[in-house]
A = this chain, B = another copy of it.
Amino acid sequence: MVDPRAYEAMSQPVLGIRDDYFLGVMADIQAGLRTAFGTKNEATFPIPGGGGAGMEAAVASFVLPGQKFAIFAAGIFADRMSIAGKRQRANVARLEKTWGEVFSAEEAEAFLDRERPDVVGFVQAETSTGAYQSGRAITAAAKKFNALVIADCVTSLGAMPVELDSVGVDVAYSCSQKGLSCPAGLAPMSMSPRAFEWLQKRPEEPYTWYLDLSLISKYYEPAHAYHHTPSPPLYYAMHQSLAVIEEEGLENRWARHRRASQRLLAGLDKLGFTPLVKNPDERIWHLTTVVPPSTVNEAALRQKLLDRYGIEVASGLGQLAGKILRIGTMGPLATDENVDFLLDAIADCL
């Protein structure tokens, strides 16, 4: 759900990309994204496109052809990172786990010890399964073997702890239409000083020109070197939605998502649904994944919710297709009232 203030912001006049007002909007967005990402990284900014653009920018900029790229894979978005790595002609190694589970410190260390990768990739909040992995177990292992870490923060940013600096992530990407409650169309990125330095010394040019983070980052430096024309309405919307987050307070927003998730799961439990992710610490707060009772046809239930209440609940993807419901309660939706309305609607449609 897009924040109403973000909608309103989009009708502001389009300005030249070096206009002082627009540069001020950009600087505010960078500051707001640093807060949401939990980082002091200077190189923190949005790029055009969705989360997929962010993923490709990260992988194409930081993974060289022939390098070993180790991916922790337990969902569709880890699979996409693997595809992006292969397209860069990297040597992709995957540690696979049942969807909905996360990786332990022991598993991470054994995998990286065996593979000795140049770059490591993981998904912090796997939209296809509802599993959250802070990444601490993975970054600790990566540090031991001196590998750069790329984190997919598409679903975590703005909604639950990302904390790049404290977790130790080098390169992170996200999207605008999930935890930030903006329309789709921008991919926030962040690079640690170590990652940024590596990028300046990259031995060969990446295949991509459009998503080359070393070129894009120059727009955010004082000379504002032209690389592409940004989409002002999307920047205005993000500017407002980051202001909304700052006013509520990031940790208050997390707590609100967490409360909504707990209330939703307690209500669903009474209706016979069971959470896909067993460990409460490994659950995404604003995207709840549940297995319906065996008597329930999940597709029929979703259709009824849409027809009777206009509520869109997502189906399972990939190996979880037909097996789970994925229920988003992000941003403005994460309130007691909305959760109760949703629970009543589900009870009615069963």
- Residues on A close to B: CB < 8 A? 2, 7-8, 10-11, 13-14, 16, 48-53, 55-56, 60, 80, 83-84, 86-89, 175, 177, 183-185, 205-211, 227-234, 237, 312
Contact = CB atoms under 8 A, between A and B. Distances in A.
Given A48-B50, A48-B53, A229-B184, A207 B10 contact: no
Given A48-B48, A52-B210, A183 B233 contact: yes
B183 A49 contact: no
A314 to B, nearest CB: 9
Nearest to A312: B16
Nearest to A11: B7
22 contacts: A11-B11, A14-B177, A14-B183, A14-B184, A16-B312, A48-B49, A49-B228, A50-B228, A60-B207, A84-B210, A87-B206, A87-B207, A87-B209, A88-B207, A183-B231, A184-B232, A185-B185, A185-B233, A207-B207, A208-B208, A231-B234, A233-B234
The 8 closest A-B pairs by CB, nearest first: A185-B231, A207-B207, A56-B210, A184-B229, A10-B10, A52-B228, A184-B231, A48-B49
Contact of A209 (B84, B175, B205, B228): B84
Contacts of A49: 48-49, 53, 210, 228
A231 B185 CA distance: 5
Contact of A210 (B211, B232, B233): B211
A48 B14 CA distance: 18
Report which residue of A87, A183, A231 has the largest number of chain B beta carbons within 10 angstroms of its beta carbon.
A231
Given A175-B229, A183-B233, A87 B48 contact: no
Task: From A60, A206, A207, A312, name the one whose CB has the most chain B CB atoms within 10 angstroms.
Answer: A207
Contacts of A87: 205-209
Nearest to A83: B209
A185 B2 contact: no
Contact of A52 (B177, B184, B227): B227
Contacts of A227: 52
B312 A232 contact: no
A52 B232 CA distance: 16
A60 to B, nearest CB: 7
A207 B63 CA distance: 12
A51 B183 CA distance: 20
Contacts of A16: 312
Contact of A207 (B52, B185, B208, B237): B208
B208 A56 contact: yes
